[in-house]
């Protein structure tokens, strides 16, 4: 893939929308929060990504919520959530940091178990996702593009 050149929102520098992006324009600190913060995380992401088309936004919000919920459920809780958005191609990278090295597991669907399907949902919605270790634990990331060319992109004309 290499680097993806694109207009960057908010004038922030986004070096690479792939794994290991060193900086991202939007960060929500989640240290010390509990699962009740999920609604705030969702609202935060929705507020930042207003220019996405409804379907793209809906997918992104599901992944944001799932990755964050996983961190609450399987670790001591997320440290932070990060969003990186590029307009061309229209692309959002979601990253959630948590304090544990244990990797998320994609389980086979199981009608008797609602949980455990989370990463499968992420696997289905994301173009690509992955995990990398960081000094404090790990980062789970997912990248979602909507595949719409810039001309017709879900980037709003005013944005």
Taking each continuous run of H as one helix and of E as one strand, the counts in the chain are 3, 5
92 touches Zn ion (CB under 5 A) = no
CB 9 within 8 A of CB 88: no
Beta bridge partners of 80: 29, 97
Distance of closest approach, residue 54 Cβ to Zn ion, in angstroms: 10
Identified binder of Zn ion from the candidate list 9, 48, 56, 59, rule CB under 5 A: 56
Residue 147, both tokens: 């595949």
In the complex with Zn ion, which residue's Cβ is closer, 80 or 87? 87
In the complex with Zn ion, which residue's Cβ is closer, 37 or 64? 64
Strands 128-134 and 137-145: antiparallel
Site string for Zn ion, 3-42 (x = CB under 5 A): ----------------------------------------
CB 64 within 8 A of CB 42: yes
60 touches Zn ion (CB under 5 A) = no
* Residues in contact with Zn ion by the rule CB under 5 A: 52, 56, 90, 146, 154
């Amino acid at each position: 893939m290499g680097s993806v050149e694109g207009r960057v929102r908010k004038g922030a520098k986004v070096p690479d929308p792939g794994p290991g992006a060193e900086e991202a324009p939007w960060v929500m600190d989640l240290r010390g929060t509990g699962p009740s913060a999920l609604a705030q995380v969702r609202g935060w992401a929705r507020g930042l990504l207003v220019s996405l088309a409804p379907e793209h936004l809906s997918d992104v919000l599901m992944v944001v919520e799932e990755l964050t919920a996983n961190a609450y459920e399987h670790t001591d809780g997320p440290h932070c959530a990060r969003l990186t958005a590029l307009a061309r191609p229209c692309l959002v990278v979601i990253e959630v940091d948590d304090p544990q090295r244990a990797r998320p597991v994609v389980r086979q669907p199981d009608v008797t178990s609602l949980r455990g399907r989370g990463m499968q949902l992420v696997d289905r919605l994301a173009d690509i996702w992955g995990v990398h270790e960081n000094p404090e634990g790990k980062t789970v990331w997912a990248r979602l593009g909507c595949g719409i060319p810039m001309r017709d992109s879900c980037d709003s004309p005013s944005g």
